[in-house]
Structure 1
């Protein structure tokens, strides 16, 4: 055998060995085996979580009835009060122009009253002697009595402007009284602060806020996609961030008729009465979450959502079912309620079907679907 023939033979042997190695590696890739899972019967609960806070059902703000300066604060935040308890007192700083005007009105009425008194005494003697008629005397007497009443009213107005009270019936305007029984949540002012009375043009300065801490409600928001499933009177569970591991029962009692746009999404306010546990002290403003059941179905045929695929063209959901010959067949399914893990199957598969678990799916596998 020539040298050239030996070289050619060696090349052929090398190619033959390489081919054997390539075919060996290719055949060593076993068939991808998929595990299967059958539909099962379970209870599916569709829930949503509303974020919000816990606040008192009844809360009021105490505002002064007169403009002045806080003279004394008698109670502290957190104190328990009964209706009528004194919280603070206000010292009046009178407006000089108003004070002068009120004093001038008193003086003018005194001048007129002096003349009316002289006329009354003179005509009384004339009436007693029969010089003037009773009707004429009664008119003079009425003028005199009206003058006395006008003087009294003017003097009261002057005292109110000067000290905040007329002097009769104590200083009601300068005393800040609790208008309900409860807990003082906040006193946003301090002694020496100037306060403004409540009127038609100004809400006035808040001196204290009081709430009944025995009656609390949950106030939160839900998305517009879920508000349609809410029903008043539904029992919900409220979890408070500051109290771990405890859920408080509550009853939904309000769903806002109008939504508010928050971050590009429309949300609706909800409220629920919370049943408190006396073992825990719930503070106003605690952040909280409410678990709300939107829909619940018992003993329905379901599969895990991870078994689903969606057709790229029709976007219909489907699964692959194991056939007798070991291959998988695509079957379109009709779905019902989902809880995010399991989904109800209304049509498409039976309890005995074995559905492919998409643990090693690839594009080539999808092409093999019948």
Structure 2
């Protein structure tokens, strides 16, 4: 029994020895690690932050009626260009029964007072012509007659305004809607037959149309709180509009909100930029856009890929090839970075071959 156990142990020992020998043999045949190298290059580096937002007109006006009623006529369509003072719509007034009744009662009262005043004036005039009453007494009745006459005309005008929204005496028509500014109609949300409400102290009123100057557009967007301290008014922006691929629009930052708002769990600040457009450019309001805000820019500088840098405490260094596949560490001084490439101020030259951190194996003899 003892001999059997010794035989088994011996076989296991021989098997392990053979496996270890084979393992080290294969290890000695493994291809050596060959590191790639890259040389520094000259490029332009732009350090920027991104703001997301949309394109909106600088001045956008909502046109509202002066009276309540029903839209009787629409003279324009969305997308049409209008002039200041151009007729937009006509509103048919639906009189309020209580207001009409009150106006009719006031008119009847004013008419009765006027008739009584006229009769009294005629009587006083006859006496005045006979030299029975003095001038002062006659003038008092004449003044009362003129006041009653004006009150009658005012009551007639008030009733006409309540019923029709227009006054024949003044020539003013309140049920006609005009554009207060020149521009393009962005939207006409009402149709013929739509009920509308006038604008007053207690109600903003129904919007008949929205007009804006499409030649003066601005970008409105949001910037994260971590970036807002790096920007200031007057900086240049490059706008990329998602719907208009292949073109970059220039803009100038003109406003940064002094107060941030919570958006998607982060504090963001509103920014506004003036777009610099050519006369031939036509951009629709509401396009979403991304704005690249240029924080810093350098042209024709020596640079490396940022992934090739190595860090140790406060030092930054790279490994430079001195002989084939032999490297030495060199401290470098860096400048601005765009997140991919970084400026190298000193430490290496354009001819140096810098080790790429990622290593790849290549077959022997290749």
> Residue 331 of structure 1: CA displacement?
6.9
Match of 2:258?
A: 257
Distance 1:283 1:323 in 2: 55
1:71 and 1:192 in contact (8 A); partners too: yes
> Residue 173 of structure 1: CA displacement?
0.8
SS at match of 1:358: strand
Residue by residue over 1:159-218, the C-alpha shift from the partner in whole angstroms, topping out at 9 and shown as x without a partner, is 111111122354621111122222222111111111000001110000111122222222
Distance 1:121 1:360 in 2: 119
1:196 and 1:205 in contact (8 A); partners too: yes
> Residue 294 of structure 1: CA displacement?
1.1
Distance 1:135 1:333 in 2: 108
Stretch deviating more after TM superposition (188-197 or 336-345): 336-345
2:36 and 2:359 in contact (8 A); partners too: no
Residue by residue over 1:46-83, the C-alpha shift from the partner in whole angstroms, topping out at 9 and shown as x without a partner, is 01232222222222111000011111112222222222
Match of 1:368?
A: none
Does residue 245 of the first structure (1) align with residue 246 of the second (2)? yes
> Residue 23 of structure 1: CA displacement?
2.7
> Residue 355 of structure 1: CA displacement?
4.6
Match of 1:124?
A: 125
Stretch deviating more after TM superposition (300-309 or 349-358): 349-358
**CA separation of 1:323 and 1:91: change in aligned 2, threshold 3 A:** closer
1:319 and 1:355 in contact (8 A); partners too: no
Match of 1:102?
A: 103
> Residue 257 of structure 1: CA displacement?
2.2
SS at match of 1:91: strand
Distance 1:65 1:292 in 2: 44
Does residue 180 of the first structure (1) align with residue 178 of the second (2)? no
Residue by residue over 1:201-251, the C-alpha shift from the partner in whole angstroms, topping out at 9 and shown as x without a partner, is 110000111122222222222222222222323332222222221222222
2:55 and 2:219 in contact (8 A); partners too: yes
Does residue 234 of the first structure (1) align with residue 232 of the second (2)? no
Match of 2:319?
A: 321
Question: What is the TM-score with the length of structure 1 in the denominator?
Answer: 0.82
Residue by residue over 1:290-341, the C-alpha shift from the partner in whole angstroms, topping out at 9 and shown as x without a partner, is 2221112345554321023455xx6x56445358798767777665422011
Distance 1:19 1:185 in 2: 82
**CA separation of 1:23 and 1:263: change in aligned 2, threshold 3 A:** same
2:95 and 2:162 in contact (8 A); partners too: yes
2:45 and 2:342 in contact (8 A); partners too: yes
Match of 2:363?
A: none
**CA separation of 1:350 and 1:288: change in aligned 2, threshold 3 A:** same
Match of 2:356?
A: 357
Distance 1:229 1:76 in 2: 45
Distance 1:345 1:266 in 2: 34
Match of 2:93?
A: 92
Consecutive unaligned residues of structure 1, counting only runs of 5 or more, are 362-370
Match of 1:218?
A: 219
Alpha-carbon RMSD across the aligned residues, in angstroms, is 3.2
Does residue 337 of the first structure (1) align with residue 336 of the second (2)? yes
SS at match of 1:256: strand
Question: What is the TM-score with the length of structure 2 in the denominator?
Answer: 0.83
1:1-370 map, 5 Å? 18-29=19-30, 31-37=32-38, 42-170=43-171, 172-298=173-299, 300=301, 302-309=303-310, 316=314, 318-322=316-320, 335-345=334-344, 349-351=347-349, 355-360=354-359
> Residue 37 of structure 1: CA displacement?
4.5
Distance 1:233 1:95 in 2: 55
Aligned length: 352
SS at match of 1:252: strand
Q: Which has a greater percent of strand?
A: 2
